[in-house]
Structure 1
């Protein structure tokens, strides 16, 4: 089946952005990061976008002929899940996600200048949130997505995702 609209969701460090970017290079689909919809970023901090701004940005993406949307969010994305041809839940082991979160923090903090606002406390907050993600947030996400079970696939990584959508 040829998918035109794919929604990728998973915990922090699960490979959502990597998978969406990789799929974008291998297909004709355009990838969109929900962090850029949810957050207003300035040089000092991340600030939540207003609900109106977030809705407007999301509707711009959803109006496209094709897309790959990726992010950890779910409560305000009912239209995205409804419109998606495929919902991908990335679920690598928690220890791998923790390692990726740590590497991302180090890269952003010490190599990429635009992320110097990240702090050890923000890293620790993400680390502990990720630690409980599978037994808390993922349970709620799966409950939220119950009506879309027929278009959900579970993958541990991008290679498994690519194999499943090309089978």
Structure 2
């Protein structure tokens, strides 16, 4: 089974990907770990394109996986291989609350952190996420070629009850 989970930042992609991975016994991949250069001293630096493309192709070549990430155009070639695309439609207010909580936990070293986030970066993320949820995601849903593979979910925990195949 091949599943791709998309949704705004703080929508619960990583959380539900991990739960589904445990339930279905298939590996999951956080595309942020491939797309961004976590070795950089600055926040928001992309990994080299050829390296992230190679790593994405390796995942796509596997028999089963759960990928999660907001990326659309970069991962477009993999949508042909996917069995199910899950779109998390978590309310924007919930996402924004989670973004702040995650930032505060990382700054306080409560949770492991590969990212070098800044307050300015969080404000930029919140602005980007608002635009994504109010403009880009609805446009994607209305005009996407993969409607037959798509499942819209308002509460990510509802995914555990769905038959994905």
TM-score normalized with structure 2 length: 0.90
CA displacement 1:42-101 (0-9 Å, x = unmatched): 262342122211110100111111000000100021222111100000011000000000
- Contact in 2 for aligned 1:109/1:116 (Cα 8 Å): no
What is residue 60 of structure 1 aligned with on the other side? 58
Gaps of 5+ in 1: none
Q: What are structure 2's unaligned runs of at least 5 residues?
A: none
Partner of 1:10: 7
CA distance in structure 2 between the aligned counterparts of 1:134 and 1:68, rounded to whole angstroms: 22
SS at 1:138 equivalent:
helix
Q: Is the 8 A contact 1:105 1:123 kept in 2?
A: yes
Structure 2 partner of 1:130:
129
The CA distance in 2 between the partners of 1:42 and 1:33, in whole Å, is 16
1:108–1:115 CA contact under 8 A, matched in 2:
no
The question of 1:21 aligning with 2:56 is answered: no
1:96 matched to 2:94:
yes
Deviation of 1:17 after TM superposition, in Å, equals 0.3
Q: Structure 2 vs 1, CA of residues 22 and 116 (structure 1 numbering), >3 Å: closer, same or farther?
A: closer
Q: How many residues align?
A: 163
Distance 2:40 2:52 in 1: 20
**Alpha carbons of structure 1 residues 69 and 116: separation in structure 2 relative to 1, 3 Å:** closer
